[in-house]
Structure 1
């Protein structure tokens, strides 16, 4: 059996725990800009129809007495590591999938720790004791059903889908609840009159592949309760990114450059903290009319310095023909690998190799200062307010 552990309104719950004045109050974690979106909503706020990814102005309309709390990513990361450490007490097979959720394979643990339900209850108690937070846990023979089960009785829920109940659950499971079924897939589902995962069973594999590509094959398997995806402990992040929704639309090159620099520093710092290097840099731009573009570039060598990321991001932006103002900018890196992993060296080292190493040394020094005193303590001169 596999457990899917999902923290309840994680960011908002952490803020309510740390500030007693916020308990039992409708709060969201977000910025204070008119353009900000909700990162997390407390269950008190959700009663008014407020949810994550909703624009803050819309959340205020639904709940006029809503409390907005600025987020603290570093604090959430610390708690996330503690949560994963708790899960590792119960099984060596733990797969974190985000900052606030993970799969736990408890196969072979039952003789020592009891039934899956008993293990889940002990996990919930341990998280409550150590962090003062609640989580919801789903238990099922396969991963996708464990994830669905964890969402059935939130908050502080525990739901078990036994092997004998799989067919009944699949038959009535709304298709939009299936992981991977997004807006585009739902458009196709509506055309095919598919309402539940059980409806997929009436369709041929060839049709599913034609309509949904590779995902069609997976839908065919899931509709029959088949999910061979294992719990993978060696999970490696595929990308790191940072994006900003702007308080006001901008068009000025220097303004965009400053934001790209700030985001490149954030992404670079995250890369170095995880001892990773990358070989692809990308930017994302959303315009005032909500259309968006992405541009990416493969780098000549593995990089992790903020300056190198910024130089590539700025070069990508310089090639964009701007006809509209910008409301959102993002920088991301992909093709990641461990910095210590050996790679084939070039016989002829680039002339700027020494400069590259110097910038990495500078970044390491800045990272050390930021770790001790906070990221606002030391900044690029161009980013300081005049």
Structure 2
């Protein structure tokens, strides 16, 4: 695949290895070479990320925790801390942006990066990939696997083949051959249900998809059938796309138990508001609309929102509106299962906040709290309202 300038595209897919579990090991070296299993923060939880040692025992993502404990009773089970993982993710992307602005994040721990302007051969791309691996290992003590190809689909598949810590290159012209003998589930977009349908048609390898008449794939999967066939043939003309700025930020939490405890509910909502506000400050943006969502034990859901007459990214400033919306949403006297907070209509922080002046002391305190959380994780410091749940 060629870029607009006519030069050969060189795209990397960079994927952190067992990200959540690896972060826990980086923060606690005693856990190195041990089976670590990161689980959800709630009692109704499943395995979020097993280390490779735990995977070797048969533990996999989305497995019920009780089952994982039966398989690996001596493993270290850790409740996940999204604040810590977000901090490491930000550091990961900072490293990538030192190499290229053409980055397409896919999640906290993976991204496409177009390096066509940096290297002109796969040999040079391999050297660059090794440099990126070494930098991430040195700065974050984390391992990444990297796939290198002329298009996104092949780079993505390649990054999965030699985990952990591998570099796999798909040379130009070899895309279809590279994919041909791999199982169909290796192809991006082939989920469990699609795999079942293909297997029922006696299709088990990617080459068989590439050789199918496009008409049959469209009949089976609709318009996506064409894309599936193109990907299976090693064809992918998509560019690496910089992310568009989101128009809102949101956080939600399913409670460990359905509850009517108003102190607990308010504490949890304030915690969600804190996390949303922190993200806005990190992105140097304000909001002018707050929304609160409440889901009850019977799954009936109510959402309330209000537009403000100011913009802000400070939770202390947004809390009065948030708590008013929460009270309106809680007018039904039923146990609550899930809570959510969304901050909408985002603006660059050049617009004035109520706390810019004369309340600079509040802003300075908030900046100090943010700095502590950046280096030590979100849990390192908590405000009084979040302790109401204790």
TM-score, normalised to structure 2, is 0.75
CA RMSD in angstroms comes to 4.1
Q: 2:19 is matched with which residue?
A: 10
Q: 1:379 is matched with which residue?
A: 383
Change (3 A) 1:369 1:195: same
State the Cα distance separating 1:383 from its structure 2 match: 4.3
Are 2:135 and 1:126 equivalent residues in the alignment?
yes
Which 10-residue stretch deviates more, 187-196 or 30-39? 187-196
The answer (yes or no) to whether the contact 1:34–1:57 under 8 Å persists in 2 is no
Change (3 A) 1:11 1:186: same
The answer (yes or no) to whether the contact 2:249–2:344 under 8 Å persists in 1 is no
Q: 1:91 is matched with which residue?
A: 100
Q: Which runs of 5+ in 1 are unaligned?
A: 343-352
State the Cα distance separating 1:125 from its structure 2 match: 2.2
State the Cα distance separating 1:341 from its structure 2 match: 7.8
Are 2:108 and 1:108 equivalent residues in the alignment?
no
More RCO (CA 8 Å, sep 6+): 2
Question: 2 CA distance for matches of 1:313 and 1:176?
Answer: 45
Change (3 A) 1:171 1:277: farther
Question: 2 CA distance for matches of 1:362 and 1:57?
Answer: 48
> The residue matched to 1:15 in structure 2 has which SS?
helix
Q: Which runs of 5+ in 2 are unaligned?
A: 1-9
List aligned pairs for 1:1-386, cutoff 5 A.
Answer: 1-30=10-39, 34-110=43-119, 115-183=124-192, 185=194, 189=198, 195-201=204-210, 202-204=212-214, 208=218, 212=221, 215-237=224-246, 240-252=249-261, 255-277=264-286, 281=291, 283=293, 285=295, 287=297, 300=307, 304=313, 306=315, 307=318, 310-311=322-323, 314=326, 317-318=329-330, 327=337, 329-333=338-342, 337-340=346-349, 364=363, 367-374=366-373, 377-381=381-385, 383-385=387-389
The answer (yes or no) to whether the contact 1:366–1:378 under 8 Å persists in 2 is no
State the Cα distance separating 1:179 from its structure 2 match: 3.0
Question: 2 CA distance for matches of 1:336 and 1:215?
Answer: 33
TM-score, normalised to structure 1, is 0.76
The answer (yes or no) to whether the contact 2:184–2:205 under 8 Å persists in 1 is yes
Question: 1 CA distance for matches of 2:187 and 2:14?
Answer: 17
Q: Deviations over 1:193-238 (max 9, x none)?
A: 6544444442545963x76566445334423433232222354346
